Structure 1
Amino acid sequence: MAGHFYADGDIAELYRWFADETAGSSPTWRAVCTWVAETPVIAERLAALPGMKRQPQLFLAALRRLEAPLDPGPVLAAWLTARWADVERAILTHSTQTNEAGRCAVHLPLLAGLSAAGTLALVEVGSSAGLCLRPDAYAYRYRFPDRPERKVGEGTPEIECRIEGATPATADYALPTIAWRCGIDIAPLDPTDPEVQAWLRALVWPGQQQREVRLAQALDTVGRLPPVPVVTGDALGVLPEVVAEAHRHADTVVVMHTATLSYVSRERRADFGARVRDLGARWISCEAERVLPEVRDRLPDLSYAGPPCFVLALDGQPLARVGQHGGWIGWL
């Protein structure tokens, strides 16, 4: 895919960037990525991968899935020399379909706010195994700096989320009423498939045990519920028919995506919001700041220097900076 940092960026630069992205959350991945950037023989192998398969997340997940030694240096270099065919096969046959149920904690306030006007039909672009299509199946514990915490829901897992700033009028801390839901994914995953579960575990960064536990609990919860329909295909191609069907089932249609459009070329993602609005749907986006210029240009402060985060927006209007895996919301 042309026009994307993953596809055409310099490998050393790409891995130095991801080392910074993981610095505060996974020292293991920071060390491995820094080593890759400084080891030409490894960087050359990764540079030979096609297009979007050059992204660090895929290589790192392949290492975890194949139980590679994760201490960067001669041992890992020797392991990669011996097992490169297996690593390459894992990369070429999988995608970075991280399905983090913790992100539901940052979606929930906006969904609850929209649900105040009636029932919702929820359409998720890049739905993976569908864990984020079930926000009403989990429990939440919101912690505030100036008032008692708030417990929402009774399901499993219980997801904790720290709140900073004043909650906007468009948000609420409650379970939404979802009358219909559907996913869209190029390669949908079955949450009950053991191999799918193993790959999703491999996508969790080393040292994040809480995420691994939450993933296992969410997979168990979703596996015991009726399957959610998922349309296989490119989002921009199938979205009109999915949204048209969604309008038949609820008062408000919501199109939602998190860390998804970063895998779409800059040209194709530029007018995504306008397409959603043309279909008569509300639009919840949760992406890195650089991904959606429409959202980035509306941010009140571009001098943010905090930990890596996503920007949560409703209909293109940024409302919060949020933790990449749902651990905190900083309302703007």
Structure 2
Amino acid sequence: MSAALDEVRDRLRRFADEAAEVSPLYSQLAAHAADDDDVAGLLTNATSPDPALLLAAVQRVLQAEPFHELTNYYPALGGSYGPDPSLWPMFRTFVLDRADRIRVLVANRVPRGNEVGRAALFYPAVAYAARQAGSGPVGLLEVGACAGLLLGIDLYSYRYQSEQSGQIVAGPGRAALGLHCALKLEPGEKGPTIPKRLLVSSKVGLDPDPVDLDDEDEYAWLEACVWPDQPDRLRQLGAAATARRKKAPTLVAGDPISDLADAAGRIPLELPVIVLTSNALRSFSAERVTEFRAAVAELAATRSMLWVSLEAYAVGLCPDRPDLDTGQAVLAVTRWDGGEERTTALAQTSWHGERMHWLA
């Protein structure tokens, strides 16, 4: 167990550093947990000792106790306190008193992210890919779709704010969800062409374990995976879930590689396919990333298709751009010319969709 515990400690420390600017709550909790064998040890029976899994499990248990003092530190649960010296002792006591329930969640769950804010990043990128595919409607195939909320990209409204162009508005006027994104442009550049609407005629999501939004426990876990001091993300999740229930995409349970072609087959042949991945390759080994790229290339050989990805630079889609290795997400589009893979970096972005630096 000591080797496993050492790995957990290291992961918690890295997580605390990475979360410092975006989640003071989780940064402080992870930093303390890294030095506490009893709390850190709860992750040693996880398939993958992801700190976000432990924190989500605690939040899921806390959801069932809405009047506990600890909720005062969780804005998503109605709290308004910032991290202070009382937080860690209270958190530690809560966790260890409920350790059995938390161990069950850690052993049987995985972190689920269906970050709806990323739709603001995908909107101009999908429009770019659709123009590359030709005029007319397209079909979307999201790999790692979770609950399929990003497939509602054409149902949401968007406001992009840049110094050069001011505010750009897109999407339906009476959308259930409105998203905002700060847009930085290269000097002298006009930035992306952002159409008023996207023409999407077919939507398919492929995931090993798609989330059923009508299952209360599954939806509660999805909420628990949202960082609690970012309540706007929780609001976006709820609004997108409402829109998704009204116009549900087709969700397919399957492997992202071996079942990719079958999932694409659910999109009519006359439609160009735009494959979407949103941090879906993060957990893949280098070998599995290579296999996925080969599967996408094989699909591109049989029909009109492009791949729009929002992935870490380390995934290796833009190896000739070391300037993009900054820790931000890389938004890119990949197409195949004569069987040759060509990837264009479109933008560097925040991971949750608030900011985008357009490069193309």
TM-score when normalising by structure 2: 0.81
Distance 1:321 1:90 in 2: 34
Distance 2:270 2:60 in 1: 40
Partner of 1:3: none
Whether 1:164 and 2:184 are equivalent positions in the alignment is: yes
How much has 1:283 moved relative to structure 2? 0.9
Amino acid at match of 2:243: T
| Percent pairwise identity | 28
Partner of 2:137: 119
Runs of 5+ in structure 1 lacking a partner? Answer: 1-6
Whether 1:188 and 2:218 are equivalent positions in the alignment is: no
Q: How does 1:68-107 map to 2 (within 5 A)?
A: 69=70, 72-107=87-122
Partner of 1:56: 51
Check whether the contact 1:142–1:162 (CA below 8 A) recurs between aligned residues: yes
Whether 1:282 and 2:306 are equivalent positions in the alignment is: yes
Q: Which has the higher contact order (CA 8 A, sep 6+)?
A: 1
RMSD: 2.3
Amino acid at match of 2:52: Q
Larger Rg: 2
Distance 1:234 1:201 in 2: 24
Distance 1:288 1:150 in 2: 27
Distance 2:51 2:214 in 1: 27
Aligned partner (choices 240, 265, 268) of residue 285 of structure 2: 265
C-alpha distance 27-8 of structure 1, shift in aligned 2 (>3 A): same
Partner of 1:223: 245
Distance 2:277 2:100 in 1: 33
Partner of 1:4: none
Distance 1:249 1:242 in 2: 15
How much has 1:187 moved relative to structure 2? 0.9
Distance 2:126 2:180 in 1: 17
Distance 2:246 2:230 in 1: 25
C-alpha distance 9-266 of structure 1, shift in aligned 2 (>3 A): farther
How many corresponding residue pairs? 317
Check whether the contact 1:102–1:214 (CA below 8 A) recurs between aligned residues: yes
Whether 1:326 and 2:346 are equivalent positions in the alignment is: no
Partner of 2:35: 38
Check whether the contact 2:39–2:96 (CA below 8 A) recurs between aligned residues: no
Please give the secondary structure, in 1, of the residue aligned with 2:265.
helix
Partner of 2:79: none
Distance 2:129 2:36 in 1: 50
State the Cα deviation string for residues 206-234 of structure 1 (Å, max 9, x = none).
22121111111111111122x21111111
